[in-house]
Amino acid sequence: MRAIVLLCLLETALVQAVDYSWGGPGKNSENGGVDSNTENVCVTDQASCGCCLMQQQIHRMKMFFNMSLNELEKELQKTKTVLNNVRASRSAFSVALTTDNDLICLGPFRDDKLIAYKHIFINLGDGYNADTGIFTVPRSGVYSLALTVYSDAGSPGNTLAACANLQVNGLVVAGPREKNMQDQEDSATIVVALHLKAGDEVAVNLPIGCFLCDDNSHYNTFTGFLLYATD
């Protein structure tokens, strides 16, 4: 009995060496990896049937392994594609009014004027244009936008007008505003979440009569980033 088992194991090892060397899916013999001579032996020699069954079982396991490996490779490729899309859609910017060391004031003007923030903290995706002050939305999605304004009237009793408008495609969405004659300096902040479409233009408008003051402390900031894409 031990001799038969030993022969079976030896025959299985030899068959594996011939028929199951790794060559990739579809590289085995035409009958699915089981030698026809072995099948004939199983018919004529009942003692060899166990070896035949063992060969067939090994072949099934190999086919199952190959199928599972192919499915895992497909899922891995899908995951890589999703990750690449996420990386490609990353968008964030944060800018401040000026790069000057000394305090300077912008405004007031006779007409509304778009503010071109010159100091760039981050411009991931290059959606913000420092020349125009416009952030062009690269991908449709929900964005977080924040605007902080600060001004200094110069001396007590002067009119303080720290105000600006956040706008999308020329339409005002929100605007922090602090106008009075009691404070020499003051600031205000707004934070909103908006659903924006690719190509929308987001900017900050300085209304008539408003003025902002800043130095390298960066009191006036404009920030936005993509929370999640919707396309």
pLDDT over 90 at 76, yes or no: no
- Report pLDDT digits (tens) over 96-112: 999 888 888 998 999 99
Phi, psi of 111 (to 5 degrees): -130, 160
- Are the C-beta atoms of residues 35 and 15 closer than 8 Å to each other? yes
- Report pLDDT digits (tens) over 25-45: 444 444 444 455 555 555 555
Could you give all domains of the chain from N- to C-terminal order, each with its CATH number? 2-87 (no CATH), 89-229 (2.60.120.40)
Looking at residue 86, what is its pLDDT?
Answer: 64
Q: Which pair of structure tokens corresponds to residue 99?
A: 């790069």
pLDDT over 90 at 174, yes or no: yes
What is the maximum span of the chain, computed from C-alpha positions, in angstroms? 113
Q: Which pair of structure tokens corresponds to residue 158?
A: 């002067």
CA 52 to the chain's CA centroid: 53
Looking at residue 48, what is its pLDDT?
Answer: 61
Neighbours of 158 (CB within 10 A): 12
Q: Which pair of structure tokens corresponds to residue 98?
A: 């000026």
What value does the CA radius of gyration of the chain take, rounded to a whole number of Å?
36
Q: Give the global pTM.
A: 0.63
Q: Which pair of structure tokens corresponds to residue 184?
A: 């020499």
Task: State the average pLDDT for the chain.
Answer: 80
pLDDT over 90 at 77, yes or no: no
What is the end-to-end Cα distance of the chain in Å, rounded? 68
For residues 43 and 30, what is the distance between their CA atoms, to the nearest angstrom?
20
- Report pLDDT digits (tens) over 153-170: 877 778 888 899 999 999
DSSP-assigned states of every residue in 158-218: SPEEEE-EEEETTEEEE--EEEESS-SEEEEEEEEEEEE-TT-EEEEEE-TT--EEE-TT-
Looking at residue 3, what is its pLDDT?
Answer: 47
Query: Which ranges in the chain belong to alpha helices (H)?
Result: 2-19, 36-44, 49-88
Q: How would you classify the pairing of strands 185-196 and 134-136?
A: unpaired
* Among 201, 186, 106, residue whose Cα is nearest residue 145: 201
pLDDT over 60 at 227, yes or no: yes
Determine the angle formed by the axes of helices 49-88 and 36-44, rounding to 10 degrees. 140
Looking at residue 45, what is its pLDDT?
Answer: 57
Neighbours of 9 (CB within 10 A): 12
